[in-house]
Amino acid sequence: MHFQFGSFFQDLIRKVPVFRSLKAYIFLLMLVIGVVPGAIMRIGILENYEERAVSLRISDLTTQYRIIADHLLNYNYLQDTSSDVINAELEQMANLYDGRVLIINGNFSIVKDTYALSEGKTMISEEVIRCFKGENISRHDRNNGYIEMTVPIVETVETDGKAGSVVRGVILASSSTDSIAAMLEILSRRALILEIVMTILILGIVFFFSHILIAPFDRVTKAINEVRDGYNDKEISVPDYLETEQIVDAFNQLLGRMRVINDSRQEFVSNVSHELKTPMTSVKVLADSLNQQPDAPVELYREFMQDITEEIERENKIINDLLTLVKMDRTEAELDIRTVDINSLLEKTLKRLRPIARQRDIEVVFESIRSVTAEVDEVKLSQIFTNLVENAIKYNKEHGWVRVRLDADHQFFTVEVSDSGIGLKEEDYEPIFERFYRVDKSHSREIGGTGLGLSIARSAVLLHRGSIRVSSVEGEGTVFTVKIPLTHVIAGGGA
Ligand code: ADP
């Protein structure tokens, strides 16, 4: 079986909620920051205490034994150990420092042992030898709890008029460190109790603060839930932290956009209903008036039936345009991209529309600067050009002209549709691309507009990642410019 350690931990973190909780992390972090320094301090201080107590003891002992070494020489103790004064002094030292004192003479023979066990024996250890060379040696045996030290018994002699010193013997002393260990034990116990109390206190504070610190995030969730459940439809605000403010700001912006989308959807639905109702109302009025006149002449019937047919055609056109628009709103994947000869596509479009232009004696000219092929959806592109040229004919004057100009650079091709028509006010440049927007409702209705043509054109252009612009001089004419990339850019391709 293959076992992956890393993914095991990732799984664990993902599945156990507490591992992903910010509150838990804050809690742990504060706990570590609060408790660890205390523990380090306790261990450090206690360690230091022991070292200092031992070195103090050694320096005490050294001083004392140096004085005793002088006394030993004065009383000639190395030769004769009968001095009560010195014996009492040595016993006192051994008792006071809870240890043993050995006096060794120049022949490495033990002349005095406060335990009276080794007197007369020879003592040749490394420490003793080194001490005879004048070294003060001390050693702390921590495991067995004692200090061992040697102090040389030094006599000052004068040879050839020069002062010198000779080591006559060695004091080998030990001292138990039990009292230091006992003190350490007491201190350590007190420190531990203090630390436990501190930890409990810190635990409480940390628990409290991890709650308090996280609370604004809970408030954000609560506020968002209130909006979701419909208890609140205003902008929410959690200004406690910069971070919560940023989250809430982003949420409010999203909410705002959703409101705009919702509003425009509602407006669209009401516009659609209104547009679809108008022809139906006309049909009903025409049919009703025929019904109310049973004896109406056939001519009237014919005339009214003709009107009814026109209204039904209009209704049909609106529905078709709406369907085209809805299709256009779908994703880019719906585009049927092929390499298309734009020149011949434009020529075909113009050929279809010329008969309508001819009815009003409008001349339609095609001007191609270069031949262009591009990766586009032919049907959608034809919709763009048909709508633009149709408009250029519809909103033109009798005996006017329409000019279609095709050009390209290495990246884009441009189609310019100009006319000698009624023109547009600058304030209408933007809204004419909105659904159902018409500059002059009655006039537009007369010439059979639905108000959807330009929004269809704009959607198709945007699907191709192109742009559409308009400029116009009122009463003189309008120019629509469409710019589309020659090669299709796939969505999400980083373009
Ligand atoms: P419609 O079906 O009414 O033509 P469009 O969306 O195609 O709808 O156009 C919207 C409005 O823009 C038109 O009603 C018209 O007022 C204005 N418009 C479009 N093209 C032209 C043009 N070439 N010249 C002047 N006005 C135009």
- Cα distance between residue 68 and residue 62, in whole Å: 10
Query: Is the pLDDT confidence value at 66 over 80?
Result: yes
What one-letter code names the amino acid at 13? I
- Cα distance between residue 412 and residue 424, in whole Å: 27
| 59's tokens | 């320096």
Q: Give me the residue label for tokens 């205003």.
A: 234
- Cα distance between residue 193 and residue 174, in whole Å: 34
Question: Which ligand 1 atom sits nearest the alpha carbon of residue 417?
Answer: 23
Identify which of 391, 415, 435 to mutate to test ligand 1's pocket (most ligand atoms within 8 A of the CB): 391
Quote the pLDDT of residue 186. Answer: 94
Separation of CA 360 and ligand 1 centre (Å): 17
Ligand 1: residue whose CA is nearest its atom 20? 391
Beta strands in 94-208 (DSSP E): 99-105, 110-113, 137-141, 146-159, 162-176
pTM of the model as a whole: 0.55
Ligand 1: residue whose CA is nearest its atom 19? 391
Q: Which helix (H) or strand (E) holds 182?
A: helix 178-229
pLDDT band at 4 (very low <50, low <70, confident <90, very high): low
Separation of CA 356 and ligand 1 centre (Å): 16
Is 327 within 8 Å of 334 (Cβ atoms)? yes
Quote the pLDDT of residue 8. Answer: 80
- Cα distance between residue 100 and residue 82, in whole Å: 18
Number of Cβ within a 10 Å radius of residue 445: 14
Quote the pLDDT of residue 495. Answer: 36
Average pLDDT, the chain: 90
Non-local (6+) Cβ contacts of 236 within 8 A are 220, 223, 224, 226, 227, 248, 251, 252
> Could you read off the pLDDT of 398-444 as tens digits, one per residue?
999 999 999 999 999 999 999 999 999 999 999 999 888 888 776 65
Separation of CA 470 and ligand 1 centre (Å): 11
| 242's tokens | 């910069």
pLDDT band at 479 (very low <50, low <70, confident <90, very high): very high
Non-local (6+) Cβ contacts of 77 within 8 A are 71, 83, 86, 103, 111, 112
> Could you read off the pLDDT of 227-248 as tens digits, one per residue?
888 887 788 888 889 999 999 9
Q: Which CATH class is domain 242-309?
A: mainly alpha
Tell me, rounded to whole angstroms, the distance of Cα 432 from its chain centroid.
Answer: 42
Separation of CA 451 and ligand 1 centre (Å): 7
Separation of CA 260 and ligand 1 centre (Å): 25
**Concatenated DSSP letters of 68-123:** HHHHHHHTTTTT-TT-HHHHHHHHHHHHHTTEEEEEEETTSBEEEETTSSSTT-B-
- Cα distance between residue 108 and residue 156, in whole Å: 20
8-state DSSP, 452:
-
Of 483, 490, 495, nearest in space to 409 by CA: 483
Q: Give me the residue label for tokens 């345009």.
A: 321
Identify which of 356, 385, 403, 432 to mutate to test ligand 1's pocket (most ligand atoms within 8 A of the CB): 432
> Could you read off the pLDDT of 322-345 as tens digits, one per residue?
888 888 776 555 788 999 999 999
Q: Please, is 181 exposed, middle or buried when counting C-beta atoms within 10 Å of its C-beta (0-12, 13-18, 19+)?
A: middle
**Concatenated DSSP letters of 227-260:** HHHTS--S----TTSHHHHHHHHHHHHHHHHHHH
Ligand 1: residue whose CA is nearest its atom 25? 423
3-state secondary structure of 420: coil
Output the ligand 1 site: residues, CB below 6 A: 387, 391-392, 395, 419, 421-424, 432, 437-440, 444, 449-455, 478
Name the residue ranges covered by the structural domains of the chain: 242-309, 334-485
Question: Which ligand 1 atom sits nearest the alpha carbon of residue 480?
Answer: 23
Quote the pLDDT of residue 79. Answer: 92
Q: What are phi and psi of 39, to 5 degrees?
A: -65, -45
Identify the residue with better confidence: 294 or 427: 427
Question: Which ligand 1 atom sits nearest the alpha carbon of residue 450?
Answer: 2
> Could you read off the pLDDT of 142-171 as tens digits, one per residue?
899 999 999 999 998 887 778 888 999 999
Separation of CA 438 and ligand 1 centre (Å): 6
| 336's tokens | 């049927």
Non-local (6+) Cβ contacts of 197 within 8 A are none
The radius of gyration of the chain's CA atoms, rounded to the nearest angstrom, is 54
pLDDT band at 208 (very low <50, low <70, confident <90, very high): very high
Quote the pLDDT of residue 12. Answer: 80
Quote the pLDDT of residue 159. Answer: 77
Identify which of 320, 402, 438 to mutate to test ligand 1's pocket (most ligand atoms within 8 A of the CB): 438
Query: Is the pLDDT confidence value at 1 over 60?
Result: no
Quote the pLDDT of residue 494. Answer: 40
- Cα distance between residue 328 and residue 326, in whole Å: 5
Quote the pLDDT of residue 493. Answer: 43
What one-letter code names the amino acid at 50? E
pLDDT band at 446 (very low <50, low <70, confident <90, very high): low
Query: Is the pLDDT confidence value at 2 over 70?
Result: no
- The domain 334-485 is placed in CATH, from the list 3.30.465.10, 1.20.1250.20, 3.20.20.70, 3.30.565.10, at 3.30.565.10
Share of the chain above pLDDT 70, in %: 95
pLDDT band at 218 (very low <50, low <70, confident <90, very high): very high
Quote the pLDDT of residue 321. Answer: 87
Query: Is the pLDDT confidence value at 45 over 80?
Result: yes
